[in-house]
Amino acid sequence: MMGFISTITGRAGPSGFGSSSTAEQVTMGLDASHITALITGGASGIGAETVRALALRGAHVVIAARNLSAASKAREEIAKCIPTAKIDVMEVDLSSIASVRHLASNYMARNLPLNLLINNAGIMFCPYELSKDGIEKQFATNHLGHFLLTNLLLDTMKKTAKESGTEGRIVNLSSVAHFMTYPGGILFDSLNDKNRYSEHEAYGQSKLANILHAKELSIRLKAEGANITANSVHPGLIWTPLMRHSKHYMKLIQFFSRFLWKNIPQGASTSCFVALHPSLKGISGKYFSDCNEEPTSAFGNDMELSKKLWELSEKLTAA
């Protein structure tokens, strides 16, 4: 309830920030010149704003995007405002296991360090479709692609954290929509069943998977003693290209809830806060909204569910 009120009023929470805070504000005074970050979907929307904020603080940012032209344009626009920006562009289709493996291989071939991985890209409320690998498209793109990418780059992150002494951070973009999933949370036995498909519940399922992935990963990293944290975030309600499959539905929602919506700089704030802020050192396995920790749904805290999802994800990606 307090989170809902704070979102409406913009009142700052315990972190000192709230729903009205922007990406620039939450990173003010921070030096990220020692950070190399990879962000998926950084070509538009809150992803592009996250790239801009990280570059402004000196980070070397690699944008991984399906549309190379859009990603290159975003890089050029940022460079106009931040001449010192260090931004590279790489190609990936997160719905394709082969493409994700290709990105990871190309990244490692560059011998770049990796301090920060922001799993930002996603699709929303799409009509039923299977990926090239025969997996329901929202689950494949929003969860499986990021699950595999994270696994493939984890050794690079561990090596970077060990050699640099700087804590690595993994940030999964989830959503409050994780409350709106299928009965049981995840359709383990009928993931690709067209007759069971609901574009809204499928999206909620994929966003729940982002939370469960971060929670299970945080447990495994802690058990290894790795100097890496994994958290998930809800960016808020923001009008971005993500809405393209449901613009009429979302316009209606926006009309009746306009006091809850954020602009893009506000929408990128929680990602940037969790990615860079020193107050979160050592904090892992948590879910953040409006730059403050918030509770998840009951499914989001179900560690048996997270283990089962991890096993399914390994099987589907052959990770």
Which domains can be identified in the chain, with CATH numbers?
A: 2-317 (3.40.50.720)
Instruction: Read off the pLDDT band of 252 (50, 70, 90).
Output: low
pLDDT surpasses 90 at 113: yes
Write out pLDDT tens, residues 202-239.
999 999 999 999 999 999 999 999 999 999 999 998 76
pLDDT surpasses 80 at 134: yes
* pLDDT value at residue 238: 79
pLDDT surpasses 50 at 166: yes
Q: What is the mean pLDDT of the chain?
A: 92
* pLDDT value at residue 237: 83
Write out pLDDT tens, residues 19-54.
999 999 999 999 999 999 999 999 999 999 999 999
Q: What are phi and psi of 166, to 5 degrees?
A: -100, 130
* pLDDT value at residue 254: 47
Residue at 241: amino acid letter: P
Chain mean position to CA 109: 24
Instruction: Read off the pLDDT band of 3 (50, 70, 90).
Output: low
**What percentage of the chain has pLDDT greater than the value 90?**
88
* Average pLDDT rounded to a whole number, residues 96-100: 98
pTM of the model: 0.92
Write out pLDDT tens, residues 10-25.
678 999 999 999 999 9
Using alpha carbons only, give the angle 175, 187, 292 rounded to the nearest 5 degrees: 20
pLDDT surpasses 90 at 8: no
Torsion sign, CA atoms 254, 259, 263, 268: negative
* pLDDT value at residue 287: 98
DSSP-derived pairing of the beta strands 292-293 and 287-289: antiparallel
Instruction: Read off the pLDDT band of 172 (50, 70, 90).
Output: very high
Q: Catalytic one among 182, 197, 203, 287?
A: 197
Q: Which helix (H) or strand (E) holds 267?
A: helix 264-267
128 is catalytic: no
Tell me if 234 sits within 8 A of 175, measured CB to CB.
yes
* C-alpha dist (Å) from residue 254 to 134, 247, 258: 34, 10, 5
* pLDDT value at residue 223: 98
